[in-house]
Amino acid sequence: MDFAHDVIAWKRDGNELDEPRMHAFVQGVVSGAVPSYQASALLMAMVLRGLSDGETLLLARALVDSGKTLDLRVLRRPVLDKHSSGGVGDKVTLVLAPLVAACGAVVGKMSGRGLGHTGGTLDKLESIPGFRVKLPQGDFLRQLERIGVAVVSQSERVVPADRLLYALRDVTGTVECDGVIAASIMAKKVASGTSAVVLDLKVGRGAFAADLEHAREIGRLCRLIGDDYGRPTTCLFSAMDQPLGRTVGNRLEVEEAWQVLRGDGPEDVRDLTLELAAELLPLADLGMDAAEARARAEAALADGRAAEHFERWCYVQGGDWRPGEFQRLAGHEVTSPRAGYVTAVDALAVGRAAQTAGAGRRTVEDKIDASAGVLLEHKVGDQVEAGEPLAAVFSRDPARRRQASTVLETAFTVGPEAPPPAPLVLGRE
């Protein structure tokens, strides 16, 4: 029997993987010595048997060791990062990164593309003409030193094992293992040279974690890995039953992020951004607590510094940012079937409608339409009249627009009474 077969059988029978088995398996995935069908089999054994805390740490270490790691200590300053577990309409990085940099800290982030109903930060940035998401390491470091902010694509040489395993997990029904999820998140942060991380773990219908207890367990495992590598890691848990903000779609979300940077925009996007800034800035070398951090971030939004930093960031990274010139595509409205109050907006359905319109991918190879997406005219708690527009879907393709509208119609629930207010931030650890 070959080695991979023995490792699969060992885990299948409920035994704990030790360092030699875990390391050899991950290295075999990268080298090709472990074929995809055997890698998928072990992933399924991990899902069914679970991973202990020790196995989670071993997996994270093996993933980090599978490729190149970046050393950002040459900057002689903490490099901060924020990770979101994925949500619908989550454009917070577009606001938070330049905001935190405008407050004097350094934000360096390797980000990913969207897959499924959640959007990717890189896709949003690339909706800005000329914006370069691929930067050589030297340019990445110089940009961080020059303006304090850079968001780039993940290098194929950084944690290559995670990229290969992620693709298998997505198509083999083996995503749902908390230890693998935490190891995947944190290995990329460690390997990319991040000094400290704040995790925005989404909870609800449009998120991976349907309930707070599950999100907290993922957060606990992420903090365990962060502690192991000496990377301070804090978690903020935010609601994702309805979309964040009023836009879902790449260029639409950039335009909305710009509104927030200018001191306007949806209240929920602004509030969540400020909450995250209050968590991130105390991890820098600025000597401030959470209250002072939030006050400084609020001031940067109010006096225009955050917006100026966004413009500078776009310019330095090649983007031709011209606010207000974006022309929306032809749209199709979804209207309220009755008078009353919006009691629910299903984030998952809205995300799928935007994906159908062309704003998202079904596979990594799919092309996206940067202009496609959904605009919400009303959110939970709003009063509406019969026939009043609830949302509009935009797409270049009339057939896609019709299909997306059908999906979008299922997202709204209108009832006779206003629902009680629900918190956006559910906790922090």
Rounded distance, CA 367 to CA 181, Å? 26
Rounded distance, CA 260 to CA 271, Å? 10
- Choose, from 77, 82, 83, 246, the residue flagged as catalytic: 83
Instruction: Tell me what the mean pLDDT of segment 399-427 comes to.
Output: 96
Helical residues (DSSP H) of 86-159, grouped into ranges: 92-102, 121-126, 137-147
- Read off the DSSP letter of residue 360: S
Q: Residue 321: which of 331, 330, 313 has the closest Cα?
A: 313
User: Which CATH number applies to 73-316?
Assistant: 3.40.1030.10
**pLDDT of 327:** 66
The Cβ-side half-sphere exposure at 285, using a 13 Å CA radius, reads 9
Q: 356 near 400, Cβ under 8 Å?
A: yes
Read off the tokens for 259: 């509104």
- Choose, from 84, 111, 153, 184, the residue flagged as catalytic: 184
**pLDDT of 206:** 82
Q: Residue 158: which of 63, 67, 30 has the closest Cα?
A: 67
Report the DSSP beta bridge partners of residue 202.
Answer: 238
Residue 169 annotated to the active site: yes
- Please list, in sequence order, all residues whose beta carbon lies within 8 angstroms of the beta carbon of residue 360, skipping any fewer than 6 positions away: 114, 115, 116, 117, 118, 119, 351, 354, 368
For the chain, the structural domain boundaries read 3-50, 73-316, 331-415
Rounded distance, CA 197 to CA 55, Å? 22
What's the mean per-residue pLDDT of the chain?
92
pTM exceeds cut of 0.85: yes
Instruction: Flag the least confident range among 129-138, 312-321, 365-374.
Output: 365-374
What are the CA-CA distances from residue 143 to residues 69, 106, 136, 188, 250 (Å)?
Answer: 19, 10, 11, 20, 24
SS3 label, residue 373: strand
User: Which CATH number applies to 331-415?
Assistant: 3.90.1170.30
The band of 17, judged by pLDDT with boundaries at 50, 70 and 90, is: very high
Q: Strands 233-239, 196-203: parallel, antiparallel or unpaired by DSSP?
A: parallel
Read off the tokens for 222: 């992420």
- Choose, from 188, 189, 216, 270, the residue flagged as catalytic: 188
Tens of pLDDT, residue by residue over 129-180, are 999 999 998 999 999 999 999 999 888 889 999 888 987 887 788 888 999 9
What are the CA-CA distances from residue 38 to residues 108, 149, 330, 411, 425 (Å)?
Answer: 36, 41, 48, 39, 41
Rounded distance, CA 109 to CA 283, Å? 15
Q: How many CB atoms lie within 10 A of CB 285?
A: 11
Q: Check pLDDT > 80 for residue 295.
A: yes
Rounded distance, CA 236 to CA 96, Å? 14
- Choose, from 61, 109, 113, 169, the residue flagged as catalytic: 169
Q: Check pLDDT > 50 for residue 363.
A: yes
Instruction: Tell me the chain's radius of gyration from C-alpha atoms.
Output: 22
Tens of pLDDT, residue by residue over 243-272, are 999 999 999 999 999 999 999 999 999 999
- Phi then psi dihedrals of residue 275, to 5 deg: -60, -40
**pLDDT of 307:** 97
Read off the tokens for 301: 């939004």
Instruction: Tell me what the mean pLDDT of segment 85-109 comes to.
Output: 95
Residue 188 annotated to the active site: yes
Q: How many CB atoms lie within 10 A of CB 165?
A: 26
User: Which CATH number applies to 3-50?
Assistant: 1.20.970.10
**pLDDT of 408:** 97
- Our CA angle for 95, 190, 207, nearest 5°, is 50
Q: Considering the chain, what percentage of its residues have pLDDT values greater than 90?
A: 81
- Our CA angle for 16, 18, 19, nearest 5°, is 150
Give the residue, 329 or 254, on which the prediction is more confident. 254
- Choose, from 81, 162, 241, 268, the residue flagged as catalytic: 162
The band of 1, judged by pLDDT with boundaries at 50, 70 and 90, is: very low
Instruction: Flag the least confident range among 53-62, 100-109, 119-128.
Output: 119-128
Q: Considering the chain, what percentage of its residues have pLDDT values greater than 70?
A: 96
Residue 184 annotated to the active site: yes
Q: Check pLDDT > 70 for residue 291.
A: yes
In one-letter notation, the amino acid at residue 198 is V
Rounded distance, CA 392 to CA 54, Å? 48
Q: Residue 44: which of 160, 159, 168 has the closest Cα?
A: 168
Q: Residue 101: which of 311, 337, 244 has the closest Cα?
A: 311
Q: Check pLDDT > 70 for residue 325.
A: no
